[in-house]
Chains A and B, each alone.
Chain A
Amino acid sequence: MLEELKKDLSFLKNKYHDTAAPFDPFFRMAYHGWPGDASTGFDDAEMEAGLKEYIAALPDTAHVIIKAKAFAYILDHMRIGIDEHDYFPLLYNWNRPLRPLLVEPWRLSREKSKESAHYLWKYSKSGDIAIWLDYDHSVPDWHALYALGFPGILARARQYRAEREAAAPLTVDQTAYFDGIEITYEAILRLIARLRDYAAGCSFPKAAEIAACLDRLTLGAPETMYEQLMLIFLYWFISESIDVFQVRSLGSGLDHDLFPFYTRDLESGRYTAEQLDAFIGYFLMQFSAIGNYWGQPLYLGGSHRDGSCKVNAVSYRILDVYDTLGIYNPKIQIKYGKNTPDRFLETILDMIRRGHSSFVFICEETARRTLLDRGVPPERAWDFDVKGCYEYAIRAGEFSAAPFYLNLLGPLVRALNETGDDADYAAIEARFYANLDTLFRGGIEVCNEIESVLREVNPSNMLSATITTSLARARDAYHDGAECNTTVILTSGFGTTVDALMALKKLVFEEKHCTLGELKQILAENWSDAALRVRALNLPQKFGCGDGEADACAKKLSDFILSYQGTPNSRGGYYKIEMHSARHYIVFGAKTPATPDGRLAGEETSKNASPVQGMDRNGVTGTIRSALAIEPWRYWEGFGLDLMLHETAAKGDEGLAALLGLLRAYDAAGGSSVQFNIFDAETLRDAQQHPDQYQNLQVRICGWNALWRDMPKAEQDKFIERAENLL
Chain B
Amino acid sequence: MTGIITDFKRFAVHDGDGIRTTVFLKGCPLRCLWCHNPESLIRRPQLAYLTEKCIDCGACVAACPKGAHQFGENGHTLDRTRCDGCGDCAAVCTAKALKFYGREMTVDEVMAVVLEDRIFYGTNGGMTLSGGEPTAQAEFTLALLEAAGKAGINTALDTCGDAPQPLFAALAPHVDCFLYDIKHIDSDRHRALTGRPNDRILENYRFLAGTGAQIEVRIPLIPGCNDDTATLDGIGAFLNAAPPRRVKLLPYHSYADGKYAALDLAPPGAALTFPDAAQMALAADRLRRHGLNVVVG
Contact = CB atoms under 8 A, between A and B. Distances in A.
Given A621-B10, A658-B18, A534 B95 contact: yes
B195 interface: no
Contacts, number: 62
Contacts of B18: 657-658, 661
Contacts of B297: 652, 654
A662 B19 contact: yes
Contacts of B95: 534, 538
B94 A658 contact: no
Nearest to A727: B255
Nearest to A530: B55
Nearest to A645: B11
A538 B13 contact: no
B277 to A, nearest CB: 12
B122 interface: yes
Contact of A654 (B14, B57, B94, B96): B14
B116 interface: yes
Interface stretch (A21-29, A245-253, A463-471, A663-671): A663-671
Interface string A108-134: 000000000000000000000000000
A196 interface: no
A618 B10 contact: yes
A668 B18 CA distance: 16
Given A531-B57, A538-B94, A661-B18, A668 B119 contact: yes
B123 to A, nearest CB: 9
B120 interface: yes
Nearest to A655: B13
B295 interface: yes
A662 B14 CA distance: 15
A649 interface: yes
Interface string B15-50: 001110000000000000000000000000000000
Given A649-B13, A652-B295, A652-B297, A661 B120 contact: yes
Give the interface centre of A621, A661, A662 by most chain B CB atoms within 10 Å.
A661
Interface residues of A, number: 28
A622 interface: yes
A662 B18 CA distance: 10
Given A538-B95, A652-B297, A658-B19, A546 B55 contact: no
B180 to A, nearest CB: 17
A652 B251 CA distance: 14
Contacts of B131: none
Contacts of A620: 11
Contacts of A669: 119
Give the interface centre of B10, B17, B55, B120 by most chain A CB atoms within 10 Å.
B120
Interface of B: 10-11, 13-14, 17-19, 55, 57, 94-96, 116-117, 119-120, 122, 125, 295, 297
Interface of A: 530-531, 534-535, 538-539, 546, 618-622, 624-625, 648-649, 652-655, 657-658, 661-662, 664-665, 668-669
List 7 A-B pairs, minimum CB-CB distance, nearest first.
A658-B13, A535-B94, A665-B120, A661-B19, A538-B94, A621-B117, A619-B11
9 contacts: A531-B55, A534-B94, A535-B94, A538-B96, A619-B10, A621-B19, A654-B297, A658-B13, A658-B18
